[in-house]
Structure 1
Amino acid sequence: MTGMIPFPDISPEIFSISLFGMELALRWYALAYIVGIIIGWRLVVMTVKTPALWPARQPVMTPAQIEDMLTWIILGVLLGGRLGYVLFYQPDVYLNDPLSIIAIWEGGMAFHGGMLGVVLAAWLYTRRHGISRLSAADAIALGVPPGLLLGRIANFINAELWGRPTDMPWGVVFPGRAAQFCPEVVSACARHPSQLYEAFLEGFVLLVLLLWMVWRHKAYKRPGLVCGTFLAGYGLSRFVVEFVRQPDAQFISDGNPLGLAWHLGGYGLTMGQILSLPMILLGAWLIARARRKPALA
């Protein structure tokens, strides 16, 4: 391979301490979750403190309600992300060992499951407090990209969720036996840094687009437009990156080297693409629905 960048010498742990015989560590992945949630929360609070952005100059929630709902959303992310991974990616493994489902510290979270958890948490909260669901969804959507941006960068630092082998100049030589298992490669195996592709598309680009829509074009005045743009934007970004992202090992076999979750005649879709299609369709429907109606003053 002509393209080959050594993996940077960055430890997944920021620091660790020994306490009462136990090793406690702060990892980049955990910090990404924490900082991403804080940034997203503050972004949403800024918008509800700006009445001019909202229909009839009435923000959908108060800052106190945003903070209250955040607890529900965090639970939705953790529970939904874990259960989504269990159901979508390794159901057989966890059915044989149900207790391992709660072992979140061993890894295994799925964005699509986390998103469903957030949807359920937000639906229950807005129903309980009589809040407009579409406008609340718009507010939440604006707060998600920072977490995606930082989370994907943390995936890169953890040397996980890497891409397929490549000879592009920016191919990265990820450490570990699994990352270096490339039967067709004699020397070191360089792979697409698909985590960084996703960080750029799902995080940075989507965040800039949503901020532009909300602050410059008052997109909150068309309920559902921001949420629809987020869903379609994430779905399209993930769908495209899946072409160069290494699929989960359980989907790869001698007859299915590309790791397609569904295939016919050598063509098919990965699990990430299958789960992204409903997001794209729902997002497109919400965008079309919002644009058909006049913007609310």
Structure 2
Amino acid sequence: MLSLSAAAAAPALVGAGHQPLHWESLGLSPIALDLGFFAIKWYSLAYLAGIMLGYFHLGRMIRQPGAPLAQRHADDLFFYATLGIILGGRLGYALFYAPELLSDPARLVRLWEGGMSFHGGLIGTVLAIAWVSWRGGLNFVRTCDYIAVCVPPGLFFGRCANFVNGELWGRVTDSKLPWVMVFPGAGPLPRHPSQLYEALLEGIVLGLVLFLLFWRTRARWRPGLLVGLFTLGYALARFTVEFYREPDAQLLDFAMRSGLSMGQWLTLPMMAIGLGFVARALIRQPLAVTIQPTGQPAGSTVVS
């Protein structure tokens, strides 16, 4: 499939005289800071920025009336969710994309060599939320609602880091769009910068939708609505972008045989789960929350 698309694209590009961008000409490097004896990569900073920004935003959210958790629970979630993201992301990558890593523990733990799965990280995060909710007597679904709003910035930073690394590039295209690009190690033909498509849809668009729903509407009083919309929105964004993203080399045959990439197959159950949560949230009555107005004497309440 790759060779056929490349062969079809080449004549069109030559005939049109279209000059695509070259990733190398952007002057990007996977290394953010090189101290000689130690190097910090943008990918690591992306994870750190996403987690820290999520923790900061969660702290603001739980200060609003009716929050399902307190600051001590947010602190616990920060620790366990970080473990869930890293361990789940790596194990998920090995399970879904590179099974050979499971038989080679020495390679499995080399996180600095890359290879993380969003779906694995999602499972790890859900397990972390379940653990903190069970131990703290929290409402699991409402806690997931609050965490879901904090996730998109991390997705945005992660996809931007993929682009800076020059990895996970898009499919070969004969499009004359000014942003098609030749990536190192991907051959001489232009490709979609699918990393940026994902950053836009999964990070910015989905993040704005959830942010506005939380802060400008009463969505947080409907348990499961925000996490359902996040799950459904991410699945739809990922499913769409996968049509422009080159499948992992080791899974190219799988994509050709099944008609969909591994990423697309993994989003199908997410769509079903997200729709289920949204339908459940909209069918049920919203929560009635008693709120003490600011500056009012004790006992003065309104029901929201």
TM-score normalized by the length of structure 1: 0.87
What is aligned with 1:78?
86
Residue pairs, 1:25-40, within 5 angstroms = 25-40=39-54
Unaligned runs of 5+ in 1: 52-57, 181-187
CA–CA distance in structure 1, aligned partners of residues 145 and 103 of structure 2: 40
Kindly report the root-mean-square deviation, in angstroms, between the aligned alpha carbons of the 2 structures: 1.3
Number of residues paired by the alignment?
A: 268
Alpha carbons 2:46, 2:157 under 8 Å: kept: yes
State which of 18, 29, 33 in structure 2 corresponds to 1:15.
33
Question: What residue number does 1:172 align with?
Answer: 181
Partner of 2:157: 150
Report what 1:202 is aligned to: 202
**Matches of 2:201 and 2:41, distance apart in 1:** 24
Q: Aligned residue for 1:221?
A: 221
Shift of 1:296: 1.4
Fraction of identical pairs, as percent: 46
Q: Distance in 1 between matches of 2:134 and 2:168?
A: 36
Q: Which residue of 1 aligns with 2:69?
A: 61
Match of 1:47 among 50, 56, 61: 61
Corresponding residue for 1:163?
170
Distance in 2 (CA, whole Å) between partners of 1:14 and 1:96 is 32
1:212 match: 212
Q: What are the equivalent positions in structure 2 for 1:184-263 lying under 5 Å apart?
A: 188-252=188-252, 256=253, 260=255, 263=258
Opposite residue 251 of structure 1, the aligned amino acid is: L
Q: Which amino acid aligns with 1:160?
A: E
TM-score (norm 2): 0.85
2:73–2:136 Cα contact (<8 Å) kept: no
Q: 1: distance between equivalents of 2:160 and 2:235?
A: 19
Q: Which letter does structure 2 place at the counterpart of 1:235? A: A
Equivalent position SS for 1:203: helix
* Alpha-carbon distance in 1 for matches of 2:227, 2:102: 34
Residue 62 of structure 1 aligns with an amino acid whose one-letter code is: A
Q: What is the letter of the counterpart of residue 260 of structure 1?
A: A
CA contact (8 A) 1:152 1:195 kept: yes
1-structure distance, mates of 2:61, 2:278: 20
| Residue 144 of structure 2 corresponds to residue 137 of structure 1 | yes
Counterparts of 2:74 and 2:190, CA distance in 1: 44
Match of 2:277 among 283, 286, 290: 286
Q: 1:33 to 1:12 in 2, by over 3 A?
A: same
Question: What's the counterpart of residue 5 of structure 1?
Answer: 21
2:288 is the counterpart of 1:270: no
1:4 Cα deviation from its structure 2 partner: 0.9
* Residues in 1 aligned to 2:244 and 2:131: alpha-carbon distance in whole angstroms: 37
Following TM superposition, by how much is the alpha carbon of 1:62 offset from its aligned partner in structure 2, in angstroms?
Answer: 1.1
- Find the aligned partners of 2:131 and 2:104 in 1 and give their Cα distance: 31
Q: After the TM superposition, which segments of 4 or more aligned residues of structure 1 sit over 4 Å from their partners?
A: none
More helix by share: 2
Return the alpha-carbon distance in structure 1 between the equivalents of residues 139 and 265 of structure 2: 30
Counterparts of 2:240 and 2:82, CA distance in 1: 28
Equivalents in 2 of 1:69, 1:96: separation in Å? 31
